[in-house]
Amino acid sequence: MTKLDENFSYLKVLSGGQTTSLQDFGRYGHQDKGVPPSGVINFQNMILANKLVGNAVNDAVLETFISGPIIEVNANEALIALVGGNQSYLEILNKNLTIRSGRSIQLKRGDRIKIILGKDNLISTLAIYGGFKVKDVLGSKSTNPSVKMGGFNGGFLEDNLNLPLNLNNYEGQDRIVLKYEPIKEITQFRVILGPHLDKFTQNVIEKFLSTSWRVTKDINRMGIKLSGDVIDTSSGRDMLSDGNQIGSIQVTLKGEPIILLPDRGTIGGYPKIATIISSDFGLISNLKVGQNINFKKVSIEQAQTISKETREKFDEVLSSVTKI
């Protein structure tokens, strides 16, 4: 085994958890080559986590999906912050200490942390001061495990993996966000209908909007399968493949809706009945297996108004971040 330079700052993965990966805003402009954008599922969580440690908003973060890793600090100092659901927190194992979501904390060499997602969310985001020392691939550090691209060796965190850090000129300082109120539960997503409404009857569309859909165990960074009433897709069996957009809800030949996530295929041949508006898409991070959700139709104009209101509220949250 190669001996590491004592001045080399890194996080050591003691236990990789289930599906934690390095993500940023994603790599766009390459879907025509078959490369999905990847990137974080909840942009606001990434921006807030980076703000809490003093990073640029697009610095890559660790996105924990389903279950969290255990990590050991191998640096003289490190400032980290977790942003997630109401029950998410960091457990500092060697100090018997817990740090809630929405604040940063100074760590020392040898500190061991575990990311706890809690029962109220699917995804949490961890940022560290200075970010991770990883090369960009097509303009992004985001990981796409399905094609082994980006991040750390192109995959999810694994046991005994070292995550190199950018800790030059360390000036980390604890921060807390005063107006942070994690969402406790999300039950409704607003959608714009289409683009393949000609493949569904009006009765089928109304059934889609009135059904209470259950989040199944079939979840990964490509998509979330829902269960409920079967949707008739007999009119969409002869359609040509076209581009897949993040947040689109495609319906399989078995009549099962799937919400498309950042690692989705760039094209698909299933008809898409609706797309979750951008303001609501990040709320997917607050889902949990077995819960029920429904969809509410909005117009493009309504979605634009919601987007403006959402940005204004989030700006207030960011402005409330203060040093402690």
Q: What is the pLDDT of residue 122?
A: 86
Token couple for 44: 């606001």
At residue 5, does pLDDT exceed 60?
A: no
Could you give the 3-state DSSP secondary structure of residue 244? Answer: coil
At residue 7, does pLDDT exceed 70?
A: no
Q: What is the pLDDT of residue 236?
A: 61
Out of 164-178, 278-292, 298-312, pick the least confident: 164-178
Q: What is the pLDDT of residue 266?
A: 85
111, 277 Cβ separation under 8 angstroms: no
Residues of the chain above pLDDT 90, percent: 69
Bridge partners, residue 23, by sequence: 61
At residue 271, does pLDDT exceed 50?
A: yes
pLDDT, mean of residues 42-46: 94
Q: For the chain, first and last CA: distance in Å?
A: 41
pLDDT, mean of residues 36-49: 94
pLDDT in tens, 154-204: 999 999 999 999 987 777 777 888 887 777 678 999 999 989 998 999 999
pLDDT in tens, 50-97: 999 999 999 999 999 888 999 999 999 999 999 988 788 999 999 999
Residues of the chain above pLDDT 70, percent: 95
Q: What is the pLDDT of residue 170?
A: 73
Q: What is the pLDDT of residue 4?
A: 45
Token couple for 219: 């979840």
Domains of the chain as residue ranges with CATH: 10-177 (no CATH), 188-316 (2.40.100.10)
At residue 316, does pLDDT exceed 90?
A: yes
pLDDT, mean of residues 208-233: 92
Other residues' Cβ atoms within 10 Å of the Cβ of residue 8: 13
At residue 104, does pLDDT exceed 90?
A: yes
Q: What is the pLDDT of residue 237?
A: 66
pLDDT, mean of residues 108-131: 91
Q: What is the pLDDT of residue 234?
A: 74
- For 249, residues 6+ apart whose C-beta sits below 8 A from its C-beta are 191, 257, 258, 259, 260, 272, 273, 274, 275, 276, 295
Q: What is the pLDDT of residue 79?
A: 94
Average pLDDT, the chain: 90
**Residue closest to 246 by CA, chosen among 227, 208, 217, 272:** 272
Distance CA 47, CA 56 (A): 8
Q: What is the pLDDT of residue 207?
A: 94
